[in-house]
């Protein structure tokens, strides 16, 4: 019931936001003109950036799987990652690509089911920690400009709350592990299960600091490459030329992409376009129609690679295939087992 309500709410918000963004007929006409004048060759390097970013993310997860003795092989890891990317984009409800990755990895891991779950959790954790560094560095490139406008300053504050809260949760997991507090945490504590999982993850991965450092380092170019795909989308529509233009785009993308990643709408659709329109028009006087097109085009490049993951899914069949609700149930059982054993 909870999943149904959440999905219904996300669909409703997505539809409402898209209606609001595209309601103006003049704006739609301007978008059509921009599409007709676009130089689509710029999308080729953008697609390449997303593809290489996926390779970096695959290698990060492969390294983390190896810490716990799960040797899926590079190509098999890539296939599972691509399937997860597909479901992150196209599977409704609370079951996302992470559930699919955990489930498929558990099929490969034999008795090491908790290891598969922890590998995905730490994979996310390393990506988040790298995003904090990337956001600080990139936003500082246009720090004064961002803070000079009340609207973008407020969005910058929102970014700080999201990343700061997430980083705080990771630190809390470390403290719980360091001082052996898992059994003392009250069950009513918000995110109790997630804190326990993080503490167990720290306990397991603390003995492999080099792998953690490598996975953190790999995450940095992965984030930047994903951001660059949106820069090339902007170039396709004839805006933000040269190094200055690239810096402008990269400086604000951590704000937009982090907020859009929150589970407000389906895959951030509508939220991301609204943020592009607001931020780019306020800071750079970009026409709203072009700003929305940059957002949509950048996202479609990610979708294109997600569709490749869908084709991989059709060909990839792990042993003992289950329905999605059964996948969720098995992953939940492993989560409960980790919490009991902590």
Whether residue 99 lies inside any domain: the answer is: yes
Give residue 340's pLDDT.
63
pTM (predicted TM-score): 0.91
Whether residue 181 lies inside any domain: the answer is: yes
SS (H, E, C) 129-183: HHHHHHHHHHHHCCHHHHHCCHHHHHHHHHHHHHHHHHHHHHHHHHHHHHCCCHH
Give residue 337's pLDDT.
67
Residues ≥6 apart with Cβ < 8 Å to 314: none
d(CA 305, CA 301): 7
Do residues 66 and 211 lie in contact, with contact meaning Cβ atoms separated by under 8 Å?
yes
Whether residue 163 lies inside any domain: the answer is: yes
Give residue 283's pLDDT.
96
String of b and e for 170-193 (b: at least 16 CB within 10 Å)? bebbbebbeeeebeebeeeeeeeb
**Structural domain containing residue 226:** 43-341
Residues ≥6 apart with Cβ < 8 Å to 27: 288, 289, 292
Give residue 94's pLDDT.
46
Do residues 159 and 254 lie in contact, with contact meaning Cβ atoms separated by under 8 Å?
yes
pLDDT lower than 70: segments of the chain:
1-3, 92-96, 109-112, 316-325, 335-342
Whether residue 31 lies inside any domain: the answer is: no
Strands (E), the chain: none
Domain count for the chain: 1
Q: What is the pLDDT of residues 78-134, one digit of tens each?
A: 999 999 899 888 775 545 678 888 888 887 766 667 888 888 889 999 999 999 999
Whether residue 35 lies inside any domain: the answer is: no
| Residue linked to tokens 């990343």 | 163
The burial of 98, by beta-carbon neighbours within 10 Å (0-12 exposed, 13-18 middle, 19 or more buried), is given as middle
Whether residue 29 lies inside any domain: the answer is: no
Give residue 336's pLDDT.
67
Residue 334: name the closest of 118, 186, 80, 177 by CA.
Answer: 118
């Amino acid at each position: 019931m909870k999943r149904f309500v959440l999905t219904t709410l996300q669909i409703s918000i997505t539809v409402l936001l898209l209606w609001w963004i595209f309601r103006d007929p003049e704006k739609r006409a301007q978008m059509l003109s921009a599409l007709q004048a676009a130089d689509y060759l710029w999308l080729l390097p953008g697609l390449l950036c997303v593809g290489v970013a996926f390779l970096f993310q695959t290698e990060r997860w492969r390294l983390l799987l190896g810490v716990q003795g799960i040797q899926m092989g590079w190509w098999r890891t890539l296939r599972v990652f691509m399937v997860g990317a597909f479901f992150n984009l196209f599977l409704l409800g609370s079951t996302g690509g992470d559930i699919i990755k955990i489930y498929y990895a558990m099929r490969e891991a034999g008795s090491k089911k908790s290891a598969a779950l922890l590998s995905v959790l730490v994979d996310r954790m390393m990506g988040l920690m790298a995003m904090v560094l990337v956001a600080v560095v990139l936003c500082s490139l246009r720090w004064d400009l961002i803070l000079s406008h009340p609207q973008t300053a407020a969005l910058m504050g929102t970014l700080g709350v999201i990343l700061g809260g997430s980083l705080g949760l990771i630190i809390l997991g470390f403290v719980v592990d360091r001082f052996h507090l898992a059994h003392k945490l009250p069950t009513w504590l918000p995110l109790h299960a997630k804190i326990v999982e993080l503490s167990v993850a720290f306990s397991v991965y603390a003995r492999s600091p080099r792998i953690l450092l490598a996975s953190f380092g790999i995450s940095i170019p992965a984030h930047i490459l994903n951001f660059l795909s949106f820069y090339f989308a902007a170039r396709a529509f004839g805006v933000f030329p040269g190094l200055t233009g690239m810096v402008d785009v990269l400086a604000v993308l951590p704000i937009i992409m982090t907020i859009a990643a929150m589970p407000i709408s389906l895959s951030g659709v509508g939220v991301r376009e609204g943020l592009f329109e607001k931020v780019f028009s306020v800071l750079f006087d970009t026409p709203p129609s072009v700003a929305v097109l940059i957002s949509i085009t950048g996202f479609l490049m990610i979708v294109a690679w997600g569709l490749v993951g869908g084709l991989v899914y059709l060909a990839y069949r792990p042993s003992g295939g289950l329905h999605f609700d059964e996948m969720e149930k098995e992953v939940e059982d492993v989560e409960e087992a980790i919490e009991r054993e902590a």
